[in-house]
Amino acid sequence: MRPWYRPMAARDATEAHRAATPLELLFDLCFVVAVAAAAAGLHHGLSENHLGSGVLGYVLVFFAIWWAWINFTWFASSYDTDDVPYRLTVLIQIAGGLVMAAGVSLAYEQNFTVITIGYLVMRVAMIVQWLRAARADPPRRACAHRFALGIALVQLGWIGRLFLPESLFLPGFLLLAVLEMLVPVWAERRGPTPWHPHHIAERYGLFTLIVLGESVLAATTAIRAGLSAQQHIPILVSVAVAGLVILFSLWWLYFDQPAPALNSLGKTLSWGYGHYLIFASAAAVGAGLSVAVDYDLHRAHLSTAAAGFATTVPVAVFLLSVWLLHIGPRSGGVLSFGFPVTAVLVLGSTYSGAPIHVTAGLLAVLVAVNVVSRGRTASPAATARTADQPPAG
Protein backbone atom coordinates (compact mmCIF):
# COMPACT_ATOMS: atom_id res chain seq x y z
CA MET A 1 0.00 0.00 0.00
CA ARG A 2 1.23 3.48 -0.89
CA PRO A 3 1.43 5.67 2.24
CA TRP A 4 -0.85 8.72 2.18
CA TYR A 5 1.93 10.89 3.57
CA ARG A 6 5.62 10.53 4.21
CA PRO A 7 8.18 13.16 5.28
CA MET A 8 9.93 14.75 2.32
CA ALA A 9 13.36 13.45 3.25
CA ALA A 10 16.26 13.86 0.82
CA ARG A 11 16.76 11.07 -1.70
CA ASP A 12 20.03 9.14 -1.81
CA ALA A 13 22.27 10.65 -4.50
CA THR A 14 23.95 7.25 -4.99
CA GLU A 15 20.73 5.22 -5.14
CA ALA A 16 21.06 2.30 -7.54
CA HIS A 17 18.77 1.87 -10.54
CA ARG A 18 17.28 5.36 -10.16
CA ALA A 19 15.08 6.05 -13.18
CA ALA A 20 12.39 8.49 -14.27
CA THR A 21 9.03 7.84 -12.63
CA PRO A 22 5.68 7.52 -14.45
CA LEU A 23 4.64 10.86 -12.91
CA GLU A 24 7.72 12.57 -14.33
CA LEU A 25 6.97 11.10 -17.74
CA LEU A 26 3.38 12.37 -17.53
CA PHE A 27 4.71 15.80 -16.56
CA ASP A 28 6.95 15.81 -19.64
CA LEU A 29 4.18 14.69 -21.95
CA CYS A 30 1.94 17.52 -20.75
CA PHE A 31 4.76 19.92 -21.57
CA VAL A 32 4.65 18.69 -25.16
CA VAL A 33 1.59 20.90 -25.62
CA ALA A 34 3.52 24.01 -24.62
CA VAL A 35 6.54 23.09 -26.74
CA ALA A 36 4.29 22.44 -29.75
CA ALA A 37 2.57 25.79 -29.31
CA ALA A 38 5.91 27.61 -29.07
CA ALA A 39 7.24 25.90 -32.23
CA ALA A 40 4.00 26.63 -34.09
CA GLY A 41 4.26 30.31 -33.21
CA LEU A 42 7.84 30.40 -34.48
CA HIS A 43 6.81 28.65 -37.70
CA HIS A 44 4.05 31.16 -38.46
CA GLY A 45 6.22 34.13 -37.54
CA LEU A 46 9.00 33.03 -39.88
CA SER A 47 6.69 32.09 -42.75
CA GLU A 48 5.02 35.51 -42.57
CA ASN A 49 8.47 37.14 -42.62
CA HIS A 50 8.08 38.50 -39.08
CA LEU A 51 11.60 37.38 -38.30
CA GLY A 52 12.42 39.66 -35.40
CA SER A 53 9.18 39.32 -33.48
CA GLY A 54 8.89 35.61 -34.27
CA VAL A 55 12.36 34.73 -32.99
CA LEU A 56 12.12 37.02 -29.96
CA GLY A 57 8.71 35.65 -29.01
CA TYR A 58 10.01 32.10 -29.31
CA VAL A 59 13.08 32.79 -27.16
CA LEU A 60 11.00 34.37 -24.39
CA VAL A 61 8.19 31.81 -24.46
CA PHE A 62 10.57 28.88 -24.51
CA PHE A 63 12.42 30.29 -21.51
CA ALA A 64 9.23 30.12 -19.43
CA ILE A 65 8.59 26.55 -20.57
CA TRP A 66 12.18 25.44 -20.01
CA TRP A 67 12.60 27.09 -16.62
CA ALA A 68 9.39 25.62 -15.22
CA TRP A 69 10.47 22.17 -16.44
CA ILE A 70 14.04 22.42 -15.16
CA ASN A 71 12.96 23.46 -11.65
CA PHE A 72 10.57 20.54 -11.30
CA THR A 73 13.16 18.11 -12.67
CA TRP A 74 15.97 19.01 -10.28
CA PHE A 75 13.64 19.18 -7.27
CA ALA A 76 12.16 15.77 -8.07
CA SER A 77 15.63 14.31 -8.38
CA SER A 78 16.30 15.36 -4.78
CA TYR A 79 12.97 15.10 -2.97
CA ASP A 80 10.49 12.92 -4.86
CA THR A 81 8.54 11.26 -2.03
CA ASP A 82 5.75 10.10 -4.37
CA ASP A 83 3.13 10.42 -1.64
CA VAL A 84 -0.38 11.81 -2.16
CA PRO A 85 0.44 15.49 -1.34
CA TYR A 86 3.42 15.36 -3.68
CA ARG A 87 1.33 13.93 -6.52
CA LEU A 88 -1.44 16.48 -6.02
CA THR A 89 1.08 19.32 -6.01
CA VAL A 90 2.56 18.03 -9.26
CA LEU A 91 -0.98 17.91 -10.66
CA ILE A 92 -1.24 21.64 -9.92
CA GLN A 93 2.06 22.18 -11.71
CA ILE A 94 0.78 20.25 -14.72
CA ALA A 95 -2.36 22.40 -14.73
CA GLY A 96 -0.17 25.50 -14.70
CA GLY A 97 1.81 24.12 -17.63
CA LEU A 98 -1.37 23.64 -19.64
CA VAL A 99 -2.44 27.21 -18.86
CA MET A 100 0.97 28.33 -20.09
CA ALA A 101 0.43 26.38 -23.31
CA ALA A 102 -2.94 28.06 -23.78
CA GLY A 103 -1.30 31.48 -23.52
CA VAL A 104 1.57 30.88 -25.94
CA SER A 105 -0.26 32.21 -29.02
CA LEU A 106 -1.20 35.38 -27.13
CA ALA A 107 2.40 35.78 -25.97
CA TYR A 108 3.51 36.04 -29.62
CA GLU A 109 1.20 39.06 -29.78
CA GLN A 110 2.97 40.60 -26.76
CA ASN A 111 0.18 39.59 -24.39
CA PHE A 112 1.89 37.62 -21.64
CA THR A 113 -0.96 37.70 -19.12
CA VAL A 114 -2.22 34.12 -19.59
CA ILE A 115 1.21 32.54 -19.85
CA THR A 116 2.31 34.47 -16.74
CA ILE A 117 -0.70 33.16 -14.81
CA GLY A 118 0.15 29.59 -15.77
CA TYR A 119 3.78 30.17 -14.87
CA LEU A 120 2.82 31.59 -11.47
CA VAL A 121 0.66 28.55 -10.73
CA MET A 122 3.63 26.28 -11.37
CA ARG A 123 6.02 28.39 -9.35
CA VAL A 124 3.71 28.75 -6.33
CA ALA A 125 3.36 24.95 -6.29
CA MET A 126 7.15 24.79 -6.37
CA ILE A 127 7.30 27.03 -3.29
CA VAL A 128 5.03 24.58 -1.47
CA GLN A 129 7.33 21.73 -2.40
CA TRP A 130 10.40 23.54 -1.09
CA LEU A 131 8.67 24.38 2.19
CA ARG A 132 7.85 20.70 2.64
CA ALA A 133 11.49 19.85 2.00
CA ALA A 134 12.63 22.48 4.51
CA ARG A 135 10.43 20.96 7.20
CA ALA A 136 11.58 17.37 6.68
CA ASP A 137 15.28 17.86 5.82
CA PRO A 138 16.99 19.83 8.63
CA PRO A 139 20.55 19.61 7.17
CA ARG A 140 19.35 21.46 4.04
CA ARG A 141 16.66 23.59 5.63
CA ALA A 142 18.49 26.85 4.95
CA CYS A 143 18.94 25.90 1.29
CA ALA A 144 15.25 24.98 0.90
CA HIS A 145 14.14 28.20 2.60
CA ARG A 146 16.33 30.19 0.22
CA PHE A 147 14.74 28.47 -2.75
CA ALA A 148 11.23 29.18 -1.46
CA LEU A 149 12.02 32.82 -0.65
CA GLY A 150 13.88 33.48 -3.89
CA ILE A 151 11.12 31.98 -6.03
CA ALA A 152 8.43 33.93 -4.15
CA LEU A 153 10.20 37.27 -4.56
CA VAL A 154 10.80 36.78 -8.27
CA GLN A 155 7.14 35.85 -8.79
CA LEU A 156 6.16 39.19 -7.31
CA GLY A 157 8.39 40.71 -9.95
CA TRP A 158 6.59 38.79 -12.74
CA ILE A 159 3.26 40.10 -11.46
CA GLY A 160 4.59 43.65 -11.37
CA ARG A 161 5.98 43.32 -14.89
CA LEU A 162 2.45 42.93 -16.26
CA PHE A 163 1.79 46.56 -15.29
CA LEU A 164 4.94 48.00 -16.86
CA PRO A 165 4.72 50.12 -20.03
CA GLU A 166 5.45 48.33 -23.29
CA SER A 167 8.83 50.07 -23.60
CA LEU A 168 10.01 48.30 -20.43
CA PHE A 169 8.63 44.88 -21.32
CA LEU A 170 11.81 43.35 -22.71
CA PRO A 171 14.23 44.82 -20.12
CA GLY A 172 11.89 43.71 -17.35
CA PHE A 173 11.63 40.19 -18.75
CA LEU A 174 15.39 39.83 -19.13
CA LEU A 175 16.04 41.12 -15.61
CA LEU A 176 13.54 38.71 -14.06
CA ALA A 177 14.89 35.81 -16.14
CA VAL A 178 18.38 36.49 -14.80
CA LEU A 179 17.06 36.69 -11.25
CA GLU A 180 15.27 33.35 -11.72
CA MET A 181 18.53 31.69 -12.76
CA LEU A 182 20.40 33.26 -9.85
CA VAL A 183 18.08 31.75 -7.23
CA PRO A 184 19.65 28.25 -7.46
CA VAL A 185 23.13 29.81 -7.36
CA TRP A 186 22.24 31.66 -4.17
CA ALA A 187 20.35 28.79 -2.54
CA GLU A 188 22.76 25.95 -3.28
CA ARG A 189 25.57 27.74 -1.47
CA ARG A 190 23.87 26.89 1.83
CA GLY A 191 24.19 23.16 1.18
CA PRO A 192 23.80 21.39 -2.17
CA THR A 193 20.60 19.45 -2.78
CA PRO A 194 21.09 15.68 -3.22
CA TRP A 195 20.14 15.37 -6.89
CA HIS A 196 20.93 12.05 -8.57
CA PRO A 197 23.45 12.33 -11.47
CA HIS A 198 22.16 9.37 -13.47
CA HIS A 199 18.56 10.42 -12.95
CA ILE A 200 19.28 14.00 -14.09
CA ALA A 201 21.11 12.79 -17.22
CA GLU A 202 18.18 10.52 -18.06
CA ARG A 203 15.61 13.29 -17.51
CA TYR A 204 17.48 15.69 -19.77
CA GLY A 205 17.81 12.99 -22.39
CA LEU A 206 14.09 12.25 -22.24
CA PHE A 207 13.19 15.91 -22.72
CA THR A 208 15.59 16.08 -25.66
CA LEU A 209 13.65 13.19 -27.18
CA ILE A 210 10.41 15.07 -26.59
CA VAL A 211 11.53 18.22 -28.39
CA LEU A 212 12.98 16.20 -31.25
CA GLY A 213 9.69 14.32 -31.44
CA GLU A 214 7.87 17.63 -31.61
CA SER A 215 10.03 18.56 -34.58
CA VAL A 216 9.03 15.32 -36.29
CA LEU A 217 5.37 16.11 -35.65
CA ALA A 218 5.64 19.69 -36.91
CA ALA A 219 7.40 18.67 -40.11
CA THR A 220 4.99 15.79 -40.72
CA THR A 221 1.96 18.04 -40.28
CA ALA A 222 3.32 20.55 -42.80
CA ILE A 223 4.14 17.85 -45.35
CA ARG A 224 0.75 16.19 -44.88
CA ALA A 225 -0.97 19.51 -45.62
CA GLY A 226 0.94 19.75 -48.90
CA LEU A 227 0.24 16.17 -49.88
CA SER A 228 -3.48 16.56 -49.22
CA ALA A 229 -3.51 19.36 -51.76
CA GLN A 230 -1.73 17.13 -54.29
CA GLN A 231 0.96 19.75 -54.88
CA HIS A 232 4.69 19.35 -55.42
CA ILE A 233 4.65 15.78 -54.17
CA PRO A 234 8.22 14.88 -55.30
CA ILE A 235 9.60 17.98 -53.56
CA LEU A 236 7.67 17.26 -50.37
CA VAL A 237 8.84 13.66 -50.29
CA SER A 238 12.44 14.76 -50.68
CA VAL A 239 12.04 17.33 -47.89
CA ALA A 240 10.52 14.62 -45.69
CA VAL A 241 13.51 12.33 -46.28
CA ALA A 242 15.99 15.14 -45.63
CA GLY A 243 14.15 16.19 -42.48
CA LEU A 244 14.17 12.63 -41.17
CA VAL A 245 17.93 12.37 -41.75
CA ILE A 246 18.47 15.69 -39.95
CA LEU A 247 16.43 14.74 -36.90
CA PHE A 248 17.89 11.24 -36.70
CA SER A 249 21.40 12.69 -36.94
CA LEU A 250 20.72 15.20 -34.16
CA TRP A 251 19.41 12.37 -31.97
CA TRP A 252 22.49 10.26 -32.71
CA LEU A 253 24.96 13.05 -32.04
CA TYR A 254 23.38 13.99 -28.69
CA PHE A 255 23.01 10.51 -27.26
CA ASP A 256 26.33 9.22 -28.57
CA GLN A 257 28.28 11.65 -26.40
CA PRO A 258 28.94 11.15 -22.69
CA ALA A 259 27.91 13.93 -20.36
CA PRO A 260 30.73 15.55 -18.39
CA ALA A 261 31.27 14.81 -14.71
CA LEU A 262 29.00 17.19 -12.79
CA ASN A 263 31.30 17.48 -9.79
CA SER A 264 31.01 21.19 -8.99
CA LEU A 265 28.28 23.80 -8.76
CA GLY A 266 29.71 25.75 -11.69
CA LYS A 267 29.83 22.73 -14.01
CA THR A 268 26.40 21.59 -12.93
CA LEU A 269 24.79 24.96 -13.58
CA SER A 270 26.53 25.50 -16.92
CA TRP A 271 25.51 22.03 -18.10
CA GLY A 272 21.94 22.35 -16.85
CA TYR A 273 21.41 25.92 -18.06
CA GLY A 274 23.21 25.28 -21.35
CA HIS A 275 20.54 22.78 -22.29
CA TYR A 276 18.21 25.69 -22.92
CA LEU A 277 20.00 26.08 -26.26
CA ILE A 278 19.77 22.35 -26.99
CA PHE A 279 16.06 22.12 -26.17
CA ALA A 280 15.10 25.35 -27.91
CA SER A 281 17.12 24.64 -31.06
CA ALA A 282 15.83 21.05 -31.32
CA ALA A 283 12.23 22.24 -31.19
CA ALA A 284 13.02 25.06 -33.64
CA VAL A 285 14.30 22.57 -36.23
CA GLY A 286 10.73 21.36 -36.71
CA ALA A 287 9.56 24.93 -37.25
CA GLY A 288 12.35 25.39 -39.78
CA LEU A 289 11.35 22.26 -41.67
CA SER A 290 7.76 23.53 -41.74
CA VAL A 291 9.00 26.83 -43.18
CA ALA A 292 10.92 24.89 -45.86
CA VAL A 293 7.69 23.12 -46.83
CA ASP A 294 5.81 26.44 -46.95
CA TYR A 295 8.54 27.91 -49.14
CA ASP A 296 8.47 25.00 -51.59
CA LEU A 297 4.67 25.31 -51.79
CA HIS A 298 4.98 29.09 -52.37
CA ARG A 299 3.12 29.84 -49.16
CA ALA A 300 5.95 31.57 -47.29
CA HIS A 301 6.54 35.30 -47.62
CA LEU A 302 10.27 35.37 -47.12
CA SER A 303 13.47 35.17 -49.15
CA THR A 304 15.29 32.00 -50.13
CA ALA A 305 18.11 32.73 -47.68
CA ALA A 306 15.70 33.40 -44.81
CA ALA A 307 13.83 30.17 -45.53
CA GLY A 308 17.12 28.28 -45.45
CA PHE A 309 18.28 29.90 -42.23
CA ALA A 310 15.04 28.82 -40.55
CA THR A 311 16.48 25.29 -40.53
CA THR A 312 20.23 25.79 -40.63
CA VAL A 313 20.46 28.23 -37.70
CA PRO A 314 18.78 25.92 -35.13
CA VAL A 315 20.80 22.96 -36.48
CA ALA A 316 24.03 24.94 -36.05
CA VAL A 317 23.03 26.06 -32.54
CA PHE A 318 22.26 22.45 -31.60
CA LEU A 319 25.63 21.25 -32.88
CA LEU A 320 27.58 23.95 -31.09
CA SER A 321 25.65 23.41 -27.85
CA VAL A 322 26.20 19.65 -27.83
CA TRP A 323 29.86 20.23 -28.62
CA LEU A 324 30.34 22.71 -25.78
CA LEU A 325 28.37 20.74 -23.18
CA HIS A 326 29.37 17.17 -24.05
CA ILE A 327 32.67 17.39 -25.94
CA GLY A 328 34.38 20.76 -26.34
CA PRO A 329 38.09 21.41 -26.63
CA ARG A 330 38.69 18.88 -23.84
CA SER A 331 38.25 16.13 -26.42
CA GLY A 332 41.10 15.24 -28.73
CA GLY A 333 40.98 14.09 -32.33
CA VAL A 334 38.39 14.82 -34.95
CA LEU A 335 35.58 15.40 -32.42
CA SER A 336 37.35 18.46 -31.06
CA PHE A 337 36.59 20.40 -34.25
CA GLY A 338 34.11 18.28 -36.23
CA PHE A 339 31.01 19.77 -34.60
CA PRO A 340 31.88 23.49 -34.97
CA VAL A 341 33.21 22.95 -38.51
CA THR A 342 29.99 21.24 -39.51
CA ALA A 343 27.97 24.04 -37.91
CA VAL A 344 29.86 26.60 -40.01
CA LEU A 345 29.37 24.54 -43.17
CA VAL A 346 25.66 24.19 -42.45
CA LEU A 347 25.28 27.95 -42.13
CA GLY A 348 27.48 28.54 -45.18
CA SER A 349 25.36 26.26 -47.32
CA THR A 350 22.44 28.66 -46.87
CA TYR A 351 24.32 31.48 -48.60
CA SER A 352 24.91 29.27 -51.62
CA GLY A 353 21.20 28.65 -52.01
CA ALA A 354 21.70 24.93 -51.43
CA PRO A 355 18.56 22.95 -50.55
CA ILE A 356 17.87 21.43 -47.17
CA HIS A 357 19.29 18.15 -48.42
CA VAL A 358 22.79 19.61 -48.11
CA THR A 359 22.26 20.11 -44.38
CA ALA A 360 21.06 16.52 -44.10
CA GLY A 361 24.14 15.30 -45.97
CA LEU A 362 26.54 17.28 -43.80
CA LEU A 363 24.97 15.91 -40.63
CA ALA A 364 25.07 12.37 -41.97
CA VAL A 365 28.79 12.78 -42.69
CA LEU A 366 29.38 14.12 -39.16
CA VAL A 367 27.56 11.11 -37.71
CA ALA A 368 29.71 8.76 -39.79
CA VAL A 369 32.91 10.52 -38.73
CA ASN A 370 31.75 10.48 -35.13
CA VAL A 371 31.06 6.73 -35.25
CA VAL A 372 34.42 5.93 -36.86
CA SER A 373 36.35 8.19 -34.46
CA ARG A 374 34.70 6.81 -31.34
CA GLY A 375 35.04 3.26 -32.59
CA ARG A 376 38.80 3.69 -32.86
CA THR A 377 39.41 5.42 -29.53
CA ALA A 378 36.67 4.43 -27.12
CA SER A 379 36.88 1.77 -24.46
CA PRO A 380 34.09 0.49 -22.20
CA ALA A 381 35.36 2.68 -19.38
CA ALA A 382 35.68 5.73 -21.60
CA THR A 383 32.25 5.41 -23.16
CA ALA A 384 30.35 5.01 -19.90
CA ARG A 385 28.26 8.09 -19.18
CA THR A 386 30.20 10.02 -16.57
CA ALA A 387 26.93 11.45 -15.27
CA ASP A 388 26.61 8.20 -13.33
CA GLN A 389 29.29 9.50 -10.98
CA PRO A 390 27.95 10.87 -7.70
CA PRO A 391 28.29 14.62 -7.12
CA ALA A 392 31.19 15.93 -5.13
CA GLY A 393 30.50 16.38 -1.48
The pLDDT, as a whole number, for residue 211 is: 92
Q: Is the pLDDT of residue 141 over 70?
A: yes
> What HEC string does the chain produce?
CCCCCCCCCCCCCCCCCCCCCHHHHHHHHHHHHHHHHHHHHHHHHHHCCCHHHHHHHHHHHHHHHHHHHHHHHHHHHHHCCCCHHHHHHHHHHHHHHHHHHHCHHHHCCCCCHHHHHHHHHHHHHHHHHHHHHHHHCHHHHHHHHHHHHHHHHHHHHHHHHCCCCHHHHHHHHHHHHHHHHHHHHHHHCCCCCCCCHHHHHHHHHHHHHHHHHHHHHHHHHHHHHHHHCCCCHHHHHHHHHHHHHHHHHHHHHHHCCCCCCCCCHHHHHHHHHHHHHHHHHHHHHHHHHHHHHHHHCCCCCCCHHHHHHHHHHHHHHHHHHHHHHHHHHHCCCCHHHHHHHHHHHHHHHHHCCCCHHHHHHHHHHHHHHHHHHHHHHCCHHHHCCHHHCCCCC
pLDDT in tens, 357-388: 888 899 999 888 888 776 665 544 444 444 44
pLDDT in tens, 302-358: 888 888 999 999 999 999 999 998 877 655 556 678 889 999 999 998 887 778 888
pTM of the shown model: 0.90
